[in-house]
């Protein structure tokens, strides 16, 4: 998320009750997760395992829970609970604003776009030309939709990321990491009925041009999907996955977080994808392997009872 205007680091330190260490001559321009940061961004780290990754990232400002050597050109905000400090900033710069009507006055809707009865369009939503939004679609604030997009009934765009920090010492153990990202839908996309596409924690969840989603598909926070992909019903993709152009996922494929599926890959139905896949190949199984290899394994496994019988006869 980018701030409306640049923010002074001294104000940030005061606001989150942190000690400021390092450079003070530049201003913060946004807030972002570590895998999406750019210069000027604020990020946070609260586990020593990830200190080095965060300190070496493009983030200019880092909220951290321990005094460490500050890299040149960076600013550290040292506080007891970076997670809560980060959430406080998100709530300040992207507060929840209730709606009092089904289509917000701040929404921009293009020429020849049809909004069917019962659809909800939130604040600062942009919808392009010649789109069709079917009944009971919910489009959360700050979502951007291109031209010639069809969204079928009951789909939800822009719900919060499923992202929590566990606090075992408390009765209510999970703290929510507030989401301030967006959902971006490019031109010529069609989204089936009952789909859920979550916004990024701080960046964007993106559906590329010409991609088609069947009914009941779930896309997790911060996932980036390329152009002309095809996902059948009940596909589920965890957060921060990257699906390149022309990928086909058949029904009930499950995709793990933080991985890449290469261009043109095809994954057969009911497969599980735990790690990145090379493009241009066909996959099957759970965990997936190349389909021909997996089919041979299944055929061989059917022979095991007979082999066992011969061994023991």
User: Looking at the annotation, which residues are catalytic?
Assistant: 221
Point out which residues pair with 260 in neighbouring strands: 242
Residues 231 and 256: their CA atoms lie apart, in Å, by 15
Q: Is the dihedral of CA 245, 236, 54, 60 positive or negative?
A: positive
CB 43 within 8 A of CB 32: yes
Give me the DSSP letters along 40-65: TEEEEE-SGGGHHHHHTSS-SEEEES
CB neighbours (10 Å) of residue 252? 15
Q: Give the C-alpha distances (Å, rounded to integers) separating 75 from 1, 107, 261, 287.
A: 19, 37, 36, 43
Q: Residue 275 has what DSSP assignment?
A: S
Residue with tokens 């972002």: 32
- Torsional sign, CA 63, 67, 71, 75: positive
Q: Which residues does 217 contact at the CB level (< 8 Å), separation at least 6?
A: 191, 192, 195, 196, 231, 233, 234, 235, 236
Which helix (H) or strand (E) segment is 291 a member of? helix 291-302
């Amino acid at each position: 998320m980018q701030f409306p205007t640049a923010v002074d680091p001294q104000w940030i330190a005061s606001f989150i009750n942190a000690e400021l260490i390092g450079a003070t001559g530049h201003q913060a321009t946004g807030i972002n997760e570590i895998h999406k940061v750019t210069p000027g961004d604020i990020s946070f780290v609260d586990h020593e395992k990830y200190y080095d990754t965060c300190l070496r990232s493009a983030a200019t400002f880092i909220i951290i829970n321990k005094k460490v050597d500050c890299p040149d050109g960076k600013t550290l905000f040292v506080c007891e609970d970076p997670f809560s400090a980060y959430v406080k900033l998100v709530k300040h710069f992207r507060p929840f604003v209730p709606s009092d009507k089904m289509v917000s006055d701040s929404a921009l809707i293009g020429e020849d776009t049809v909004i069917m009865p019962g659809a909800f369009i939130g604040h600062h939503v942009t919808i392009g030309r010649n789109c069709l939004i079917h009944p009971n679609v919910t489009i959360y604030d700050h979502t951007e939709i291109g031209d010639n997009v069809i969204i079928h009934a009951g789909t939800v765009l822009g719900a919060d990321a499923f992202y929590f920090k566990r606090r075992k010492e408390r009765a209510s153990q999970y703290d929510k990491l507030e989401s301030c990202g967006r959902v971006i839908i490019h031109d010529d996309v069609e989204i089936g009925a009952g789909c859920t596409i979550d916004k990024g924690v701080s960046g964007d969840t993106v559906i590329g041009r010409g991609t088609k989603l069947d009914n009941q598909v779930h896309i997790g926070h911060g996932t980036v999907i390329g152009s002309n992909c095809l996902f059948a019903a009940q596909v589920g993709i965890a957060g921060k996955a990257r699906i390149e152009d022309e990928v086909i996922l058949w029904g009930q494929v499950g995709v793990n977080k933080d991985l890449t599926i290469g261009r043109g890959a095809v994954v057969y139905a009911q497969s599980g994808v735990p790690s990145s896949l090379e493009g241009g190949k066909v996959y099957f199984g759970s965990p997936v392997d190349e389909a021909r290899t997996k089919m041979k394994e299944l055929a061989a496994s059917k022979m095991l009872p007979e082999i066992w019988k011969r061994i023991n006869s």
